[in-house]
A and B are shown apart, each in its own frame.
Chain A
Amino acid sequence: MNRRNFLYNLNGGLGALAMTDLLAKEAAGPLAPKKPMHAPKAKNVIMLFMEGGPGQMDTFDPKPKLNALHKTESKSTRGLETGFKFYVGSPFKSRKVGQAGLEMSDQWQHLPEVADELCNYRGCTAESLNHPEALFHMNTGSRLGADPALGAWVNYGLGTVNQNLPGYVVMTELALPQGGSRNWSNGFLPGHFQGTRLRPTGSPILDLHAPAHKTREHQRAALDELAFLNQRHAAKHPGHADLATRMESYELAYRMQAEVPGVIDLKGEPEHVREAYGMNRKETAEFGRQCLMARRLVEKGVRFVQIFSGGWDSHDYLERGHASRIRSVDQPMTTLIKDLKERGMLDDTLVIWTGEFGRTPDNNKRGGVYSLGRGHNADAMTMLLAGGGVKRGAIVGATDEIGAKAVEVAHPIRDLHVTLLHLLGLDDNNLTYFHAGRYKQLSQFGGQVIKELIA
């Protein structure tokens, strides 16, 4: 019997669930790789989450009509705010890029280089107009903030290749996004599927290392002593299977302590790579570091990597705000896609760039002044997908002529989730977990694959 079989077969603690869920079908541990349900197009996911909600008309979905209406009164009741509203044209010029003619605002200086790898989807619709609920919805399929995240479901369905690293890694800015760790929670799935946050400063994983005065040798000696205590205890409780699992978790932790620093230490990356990811410029350094890390993690077998980049909530000063946000992600994500392609990883790595919702074509006065920004819009948004079996150089779906509402290939978030699972070889209707008296699934009640997105 190999180590993992030994480790998990014994575990009677899964209780009643063991008879009914996927865990039972897998002889090896909960994170061991599992066969997909059908032939997958993608194996890994890198999700770039633009927290705050980028404006579709200011990024990839230009609206000339809206520009013509600039500062004229809007009678729309969409969005939250009431009172006088006026249209806001995009401060940016748009142009067609790549052979396929994707549209990008002129703030994107680098991304045109990979335009023909991208699929711009304009049909997704959210439900909630406030950040945490919309974030929960995009990340977990439910607005309540208590359900498993997409990355948790994917690991539940597919496991992960490298058992010494977490299967679902999350990187954020120094500040957590609204709603915090509920955005990468395992929800009701077992704790193994929880997203592990790699912290931007300090210890990459909380308490990964012992205090400095305790060396690795010291730790080894301590673990040996602990094993002694645990073995004697286990001898008195032969029927208690959890004891072995817990003993083994100390050894796994010890190996992770050795493995993680190697993966996250970017010092060995050559200068031209750091340069290409924008790590040498203040503006792009953080997102660049995270994009490079994402590539390395996927290379090492991490199934699902998510990066949160905030500051997109431009209710005012949109020109400054969005320009600065675009600059901070433009070069790093362009390089990420190029890098994945050069390494032959883009075919089975799905890259997604999205916010939690889109923005309105109009705005309210703030403090009585025409403020050039946009409100929250759940009826229209824009996103990019690349690699992993999605169409290349394509625009899918459309919003109306002012970008207020998705009108073609319009689908709710649950359909996007079903589609992502489908690309990974998972069927949302079969990827279920029995919890609180019913079988639960990412889409909540089922959804459909957005075929138009698939190559």
Chain B
Amino acid sequence: MRFHGFFLSIWLGTSCLTAADREGERLFALKVRGILNAKCLACHGEAGKKLKGDLDLSSRAAMLKGGESEEASLVPGKPLASPLYLAATREHEEDWSAMPPKENDKLTADQLAVLKRWIDLGAPWPDAKKQARYIAEERAKPVTAEGVLVKTSGGTSEDWTYRRYKPEDVWAFQPVVKPKVPQGAANPVDAFINRKLKSAGFARAPQADFRTLVKRAYYDLTGLPPTPFEIFQFRQAWDKDPVQAWAALIDRLLASPHYGERWGQHWLDVARYADTGGYSNDYERSNMWRYRDYVIRAFNDDKPYDEFIREQIAGDELADASLRRRINNWNQFQNARQNGKLYNAREAEQLVASSFLRMGPWDPAMVKSPQARQIYLDDVVNAVGETFLSTTMRCFKCHDHKFDPLPTRDYYRMYAVFEPTQLAERPTPFFEAENRAGFKEGQATTQHLLSFATDKHNALYNKQESAAREWYTKAGTKYLDEKARQKLPDEEKPPRHVGLSPEEQGRKKVRRQDEWIWQRRLERYQPMAQSVYNGPVPNFLNARKLRMNARANNKWRPDSRILGGGALEAPGAKVTPGVLSALGVPVAGAEQADAFQIPDALDGRRLALANWIANPANPITARSIVNRVWQKHFGQPLAANPNNFGAKGGKPTHPELLDWLAADFVEHGWKFKRLHRLIMLSATYRQSGTHPQAAELAVADPNNHLFAFRAPRRLSAEELRDSLLKATGELNPAIGGLPVMPEINMEVALQPRMIQFSLSPAYQPSRTPAERNRRTIYAYRVRGQANPFLETFNQPNPNDSCEARVAETVTPQVFTLLNSSVMSDRAIALALRTEKEFDTLHLQVKHAVQLAYGRVPDKVEWERLKQYITKMRAYHAAHEPAPVKYPTAIKRSLVEELTGQPFEYEEILPVFENYVHDKKPADVSANTRALADLCLLLFNSNEFVYVY
């Protein structure tokens, strides 16, 4: 941030002005003028507009004259006799109706005080020239009691451009200066945390025990619990040398491929990962899974964050620039882009990374193209701002930012960066690192579903056309097919849908939509990526099929403008592409005249933006990401709103620690694994969940902003499901690949769901347990249909970036955990596992508790749980469960929108024809069911769902 550094020395005082006069004049010029403009003049003094109540407030003389009431609205020196003031207070309505009339427009207490003071001082009204001098004098001061100036590309008004900010509100815009680490602790994290703790009069909590620590580390780094054996191994090492054991554990977990799954999930929360596009059609984005795997790989490979930024914002530009270096001939280069075959693995990976720009919900169905583009651009600009710059961009789309130094011009400069960005599924070769298991079977199943839809559709089409033929025969004219006759006048062709009943018309539409859905699904298996390219806006937008036109007019440039009030109908001043000026970081290579501009070329805008974000001098980028990493280790971030570092976001509790971590992160190559080590090796991280002074802390620091102890947390939805599978031994630990379909509540799976013109097909789980029981990050994510289990446990809505998970306790969680078939299956699986591994009830109980809790039961628990199972054995011997059947086809019913009549059709569910279902109550003995009762309770208990 730069303060206005120019000092003007203007002589304002004259010998005939008293200090009070000067104060009054100054107050008028700096404050009162603005209040009158904003609150009064629209009705009382706007040039060319009729005055309300004949009252003119645009000059002192007119104020003294008053309006209809024929009473002066201003009595200099006497605010309490001045109707201007009395009306504004809204407390004298019997005499003076409240002004401005709308409650929402009322003056703030500060504004009222200013008005009062000005009248007190005699209500002086300096001429325009003098006002300008007072203003210039004020603007020459970089810092005043009212705050600091921040230099930007300029707001829509001078008042905005020169407004002042409290320094603490613009902390994030100030350069990161690496602070000195306080004395007294080996680990810098501890040094900063201890200093604040100490000044608050507390010491940190003691270190947690080894069992708590090993569980904490496993969950934090992999999202999975340790097995009893892994706990045992750690204990042995810990007993030998705790310091060494802990460091080795962290290294081992960071090297685990599950690390990328856990931290990739955090990134996907922010990026809003989903496998479908949402809105009307909720079309599948068939290749999005490749992006999910890219993110997981990036964390596992410890990809530097600056590169991660560049690839996601400009991966396509990087790939094309790299390809261009190999292919000199322009035509050959364009052909190569269009068919994609020549991209090497690195370039393919970059194309996949650019899927980040495709992550928002978007469907142009029933939206005019310019609006559809605007919806996309607003979304992507906001996504980039929130994700990488912790800045909610929406807040200055319609006007200059209300609280932060972000002019609307800068919004539209970033908008212009993306204006040439067009969405497309681009040909992108698969590469070595990608998991392509299950392609063949998936393709066959999809083809089967597609053929079914096509056959049904064709039959109806043929029926219609044979009726059309009859019509033509009767009319004595030559038959034309549906497409050929479409444009003809009504008299010259058969009625629409001739020969089809309303039900058949409805079915035909459903089958057609199904064809589209399955055709799109087949694209999963094609070497394609949900990517982007630069070019003019295509003539026709349809989320069903978006393809690149490499040969589009590359001379085209968008007409980039500030949109007044965010409305396409109100284009204003032209803007060039550019960056956020308030950050004070110039664009590399930009001209001095405007250091925040990006060249107006078709290609390279996004790369320039990405380079600017990834510039080590950018004050927000590194703070933003280290804050997120901290948050995921401690449950709460240092700055409370990871997506909003502005004035309204929470201020950092430890600003120096945040800056130290940010600077250190950049200095050491933007590497995550190093940062994890630094944090996890600290004593702060190893603290116990209980503090000896808990009662005092509850009063002094109720939100644990001091990080005086370890706050426990409930497992996230994904951790919960993954932990269940790990405990039962069912988890298939494979990494990456096609989206998997876990079994979900069958009522939800088969429940119809409206999409445009039709119902979406039923949810069919993957056929075998091994395919279903993959980690949750691989579960198919549909915007229009949440997985009920995960949704209940607060999996975020992918329509909005999730800056922090919540974990409220609500009753549907109880229904899910106690009663759902998904949970019953897990309980039986754990029971079967323990029975397989141990013979006696005594050891089975021990093993079940150990697998669920990572510890053996104590004596009291052990005895009581055995008794419980014994009772339940008797119960289950007398209660026979019903077997479970899966349907291979279902009848669907839909109200045909054209006729308002319901119609039915059949949908096939081929996966259930040779489905390998999990063991159900009816498949196991009464004794197993009794043991499963215990397993279910273990999974429901607090010890299982909280990590300390």
Contacts and interface: CB of A to CB of B under 8 A. Distances in A.
Interface of A: 12-13, 15-16, 18-19, 51-52, 80, 129-133, 144-146, 173-182, 185, 187, 190-192, 194, 196, 199, 202-203, 205-215, 218-219, 221-222, 225-226, 228-230, 232-234, 237-240, 242-243, 245-247, 249-250, 252-253, 256, 310-317, 320-325, 366-371, 373, 376, 429, 436-438, 446, 448
23 contacts: A80-B366, A130-B366, A145-B278, A145-B279, A174-B752, A175-B759, A175-B894, A191-B810, A206-B816, A206-B820, A207-B815, A208-B815, A211-B881, A213-B876, A226-B941, A229-B937, A229-B943, A242-B946, A253-B814, A317-B899, A321-B898, A436-B649, A438-B392
Q: Give the residue among B490, B806, B821, B893 with the most A Cβ atoms within 10 A.
A: B806
Interface of B: 102, 104, 278-280, 361, 363, 365-368, 392, 395, 482, 485-490, 493, 495-496, 502, 636, 640-641, 643-644, 646, 648-650, 689-691, 694, 698, 702-703, 712, 714, 745, 747-748, 751-756, 759, 784-786, 788, 791, 794, 797, 799-800, 803, 806-816, 818-821, 824, 860-861, 864-865, 868, 871-872, 875-876, 879-882, 893-901, 921, 933-934, 936-938, 940-943, 945-946, 948
A194 B788 CA distance: 14
A158 B784 CA distance: 30
B712 A237 contact: yes
B47 to A, nearest CB: 27
Contacts of A240: 689, 712, 946
B900 A325 contact: yes
Contact of A249 (B368, B788, B799, B809): B809
Contact of A437 (B279, B368, B641, B784): B641
Q: Give the residue among A187, A191, A209, A312 with the most B Cβ atoms within 10 A.
A: A191
Given A132-B279, A202-B747, A438-B648, A232 B861 contact: yes
- The 7 residue pairs across chains A and B that have the minimum distance between CB atoms: A324-B900, A437-B644, A146-B800, A253-B814, A321-B900, A437-B649, A311-B895
B392 A436 contact: yes
B610 to A, nearest CB: 24
B811 A256 contact: yes
Contact of B648 (A146, A321, A437): A437
Given A315-B897, A321-B899, A368-B490, 14 more contacts: A15-B703, A18-B702, A176-B754, A210-B818, A213-B881, A218-B879, A226-B937, A237-B690, A238-B694, A242-B946, A256-B811, A317-B898, A320-B901, A438-B648
A7 B662 CA distance: 41
Nearest to A213: B881
Contacts of A230: 941-943
B217 to A, nearest CB: 19
Nearest to B884: A211
B496 A213 contact: no
Nearest to B750: A202
Given A132-B279, A175-B754, A448-B102, A226 B940 contact: yes
Given A311-B900, A324-B899, A368-B488, A429 B104 contact: yes
A324 B893 CA distance: 16
Contact of A367 (B486, B894, B936): B486
B871 A221 contact: yes
Contact of B809 (A129, A246, A315): A246
Contacts of B702: 12, 18
A191 B795 CA distance: 11
B937 A222 contact: yes
Contacts of B810: 191-192, 194, 249
Nearest to A80: B366
A314 B814 contact: no
A367 B279 CA distance: 25
Contacts of A229: 861, 937-938, 941-943
A12 B279 CA distance: 37
Contacts of B861: 229, 232
Contacts of B712: 237, 240, 242
Contacts of A321: 897-900
B824 A211 contact: yes
A177 B815 contact: no
Contacts of A313: 897
B513 to A, nearest CB: 13
Contacts of B815: 205-208, 253
A365 to B, nearest CB: 9
A249 B808 CA distance: 11
A190 B794 CA distance: 10
Contact of B814 (A131, A180, A249, A311): A249
Contact of B745 (A19, A133, A206): A206
Contacts of A226: 937, 940-941
Nearest to B861: A232
A174 B902 CA distance: 12
Nearest to B867: A225
Nearest to A174: B752
A238 B900 contact: no
Contact of B816 (A15, A185, A207, A368): A207
Contacts of B752: 174-176
B948 A199 contact: no
A215 B941 CA distance: 20
Contacts of A228: 864
A324 B901 contact: yes
Contacts of A132: 278-280
Contacts of A185: 797
A379 to B, nearest CB: 14
Nearest to B486: A368
B882 A233 contact: no
Contacts of A232: 860-861
A190 B280 CA distance: 27
Q: Give the residue among A51, A239, A310, A312 with the most B Cβ atoms within 10 A.
A: A239
A314 B898 contact: yes
A312 B813 CA distance: 35
B493 A209 contact: no
B819 A376 contact: no
